[in-house]
Amino acid sequence: MSAGPASAGGTSGDPVAALITARIRNVPDFPQPGVQFKDLTPLFADGQAFRAVVDAIVRRYEPGSFDVVVGVEARGFLVAAAVGYAAGVGVVPVRKAGKLPWQAVSTEYALEYGEATIEVHQDAFLGADQALIVDDVLATGGTLAATAGLVHRAGGQVAGMSVLLELAVLGGRDRLSPYDLHSLLAV
């Protein structure tokens, strides 16, 4: 699926959104004072709920619309591996600086509460691979925008983006308007 209309996440009447909502743990002042961290590890620990979330992501995209899933460190790895397995495609990790063992392409970007650098192997996308980028939470959009830039720089194309939870008040969706962005739950 190429760049197209973005879709906001489910509502309380959506069963997948309800599964996510019931399994969010709010952690105040993490990783620094003033940040209300949305911890999805209770969702990942519930096999049936996690399966429902992964299946919902895979159903969102037509078969063959992506041939690799890109997972962003660290919780995005969990989602990407499961989506890749369910879709029968490979997985490409996007890691923090200095964590990849091969030649990498890197970029710096702003976070909700600081700055970071991420990298991908320079040969991660052979030819014009269509990449579905997945992560757990969309906040300001900095991580996903930086990841999309890395995909392009390494020779891939962004087929779409999918997140479990979108923090709509932070406006990350606006930053990602060129891409087909899907969230399972927007709060």
Strands 130-138 and 68-72: parallel
Which H/E stretch holds residue 117?
Answer: strand 114-121
In angstroms, the CA 97 to CA 110 distance is 14
Distance separating alpha carbons of residues 160 and 178, to the nearest angstrom: 10
Q: How far is 140 from 19, CA to CA, in rounded Å?
A: 23
Note whether 71 and 134 are within 8 A (CB): yes
23, 75, 95, 173: the active-site residue: 75
Question: Which residue type does 118 have?
Answer: I
Has 175 been annotated as catalytic?
no
The one catalytic residue among 73, 112, 153, 175: 112
Concerning whether 75 is annotated as a catalytic residue, the answer is yes
Compute, in degrees rounded to 10, the torsion defined by CA atoms 123, 108, 115, 171. -90
Annotated active-site positions, please?
A: 75, 112
